[in-house]
Structure 1
Amino acid sequence: MSVGETVPGRRRRRDLTELPRWIVLAIYAVLIVVPLAVVVFTALKTTTQMYADPFGLPTDPTMSNFTELLGGDRLGRSLANSAIVTVVSVSATLLLTSLASFAIVRLGGRAGTVIYVLFALGLAVPAQVAMIPQYVIFRQLGLTNSLLGLILINIAVTCSVAIFILTGFFQTLPKELFEAAEVDGASNWHIFWQIALPISAPSVAAVAIFLFVMHWNDLLYPLLFITDPEKATLPKALLDFKGEYSTNYPMLFAGVIIASIPMVVAYVFLQRWFVAGMTAGSLKG
């Protein structure tokens, strides 16, 4: 602080330098809050109220959209289907990719690099490019229009990104830790389950949340593989509220809110692990 400069003066100068950051944050907050408010307000309106005042506050809030959705069998089946597909897909993907990532790191050398690059190349291929071959293969195997086929395709398309993230974290673990376990007579299987996996829990949780959001919100593959309404997932079931000439926006937005609740709950309970997993790589020295 220069001679004669007061503490309030220094504080005002610091506030001016931080002003652009606060402006950017305020704009970002508006971009997030306004669409969310529109969704909530619309879900509390009837169709007539919505078309009369699309962006206004609900003059006579109603929960009829939620009660109608939750009272019907169709949404309940779709919720159950989404839950089954998401939980099984995330669990199987985490198990397979954590084992593969650990094997790549333990193998090391040129062989480990080649295997890692082959998986990483999957990130460079857009999902739409492989959709037709995937559909043909699954149809020949009799796996279309089934939850099992949807689970298998989810595992296949997300293995690359999960291995990419988990391998990067496993590489930051000290090799001396594994070498000490080997000296004590531990096998690779024991090292993975008893040492590597517990240490990697934050990164595994971060990948789990990422996969959960991808699978829960996925609409592309259910549209491609599922034709039976009884086996539709929640995002596909919500399309029923969008017609060719008219759309029931209050009912649709109420369904969107219901579909968002599991993701919010999952993040609330796993946010500590998620933040730790996102920063784990930078804290390893």
Structure 2
Amino acid sequence: MLYKSTKNFLLTAFAFIVLIPCSIVVLGTFKTDAEIYSTPLALPKNWTLDNFRTLFDSGGLITPFKNSVIVAVFSVFITLILASMAAYAIARSITISGKVLFFLFTLGLAIPGQVNIIPIYVLFVKLNLNNSLTGLVLVNIALTLPISIFILSAFFKDLSREMFEAASIDGAGHWRIFRSIALPLCRPAMGATGIFLFVICWNDLLYPLMLISELSKKTLPLILIDYRGEYFSSFSMLFTAIFVASIPMVVMYLFFQKSFIAGITAGAVKG
């Protein structure tokens, strides 16, 4: 009884800790800067949509929003394709080569992305991939592929080998087994991994800051920095931009929450 009460109290306290900054941001989108400074947690005295009008009338958020969507969608889609094929091959391999390949991919998790900033920048300048959305997609794929393979290989290994062997006896090749059996069964894992990757790519600031300088190629995190000045920051506009930038992630989770929950709980109970 004491354990349950303590757990509920801690969860409630954590929920309030998370809700306080979220409430400040959401309420701040309907306030002026002066009202945010004076009463950050109070409800707006005069609800206004002027911040949204200013944000979209200026047109400064539409192009970065589109660039972020392009980079995130293509990065996640290509990474899931490559990671699922590699994870399936690793899970189905019964030789030492599969273990070696898995070790090499997981070794990429031990190398922080910040270590490769200078080599990546020099390489992309030589390949003329700086100031390019294609370059950002390639960077995201390279950085998220190890963690994707690490996650998906665990789900593929949980699938019954007898099922794959029965399909092989019926004449199905590796590609047919992968496409018709393995992928449908691992759809929850693919959904959970996809949401995880989308959040990483959508919120990435380091590599766009390093590789992108043209205004037409900037992504949302880069534009959010511009709302902070050296001597004065318009928190009403900053909160509004953050609110708009968070909408795709919230919508994506609402649509794929079943796959996400099924993916993170798959394998938790073994019969």
* TM score, norm. by length of structure 1: 0.92
Aligned residue number for residue 36 of structure 1:
22
Deviations 1:154-195 (A, max 9, x none): 000000000000001101111111111110111100000000
Identity %: 47
Aligned residue number for residue 157 of structure 1:
143
Give the Cα–Cα distance (whole angstroms) in 2 for the partners of residues 206 and 242 of structure 1.
33
Partner-residue secondary structure (3-state), 2:229: coil
Mapping of residues 194-209 of structure 1, within 5 Å:
194-209=180-195
Q: Does 1:123 align with 2:112?
A: no
Aligned residue number for residue 49 of structure 2:
63
Aligned residue number for residue 226 of structure 1:
212
Aligned residues: 271
- Displacement of 1:284 in angstroms is 4.9
Deviations 1:208-235 (A, max 9, x none): 0000111111111110111011111111
Give the Cα–Cα distance (whole angstroms) in 2 for the partners of residues 120 and 232 of structure 1.
31
Give the direction of change, closer, same or farther, for the CA distance of 1:18–1:284 in structure 2 (3 Å limit): closer
RMSD: 1.2
Deviations 1:106-158 (A, max 9, x none): 22321000000000011111111111111111111110110000000000000
Give the Cα–Cα distance (whole angstroms) in 2 for the partners of residues 284 and 169 of structure 1.
13
Mapping of residues 116-265 of structure 1, within 5 Å:
116-265=102-251
Aligned residue number for residue 109 of structure 1:
95
Verify the 8 A CA contact 1:120 1:161 in the aligned structure 2.
yes
- Structure 1 spans left out of the alignment, 5+ residues: 1-13
Give the Cα–Cα distance (whole angstroms) in 2 for the partners of residues 133 and 252 of structure 1.
33
Amino acid at match of 1:184: D
Amino acid at match of 2:213: T
Verify the 8 A CA contact 1:74 1:230 in the aligned structure 2.
no
Give the Cα–Cα distance (whole angstroms) in 2 for the partners of residues 113 and 34 of structure 1.
46
Verify the 8 A CA contact 1:102 1:167 in the aligned structure 2.
yes
Q: Which runs of 4+ in 1 moved over 6 A?
A: none
Partner-residue secondary structure (3-state), 2:48: coil
Amino acid at match of 1:52: S
Amino acid at match of 1:137: L
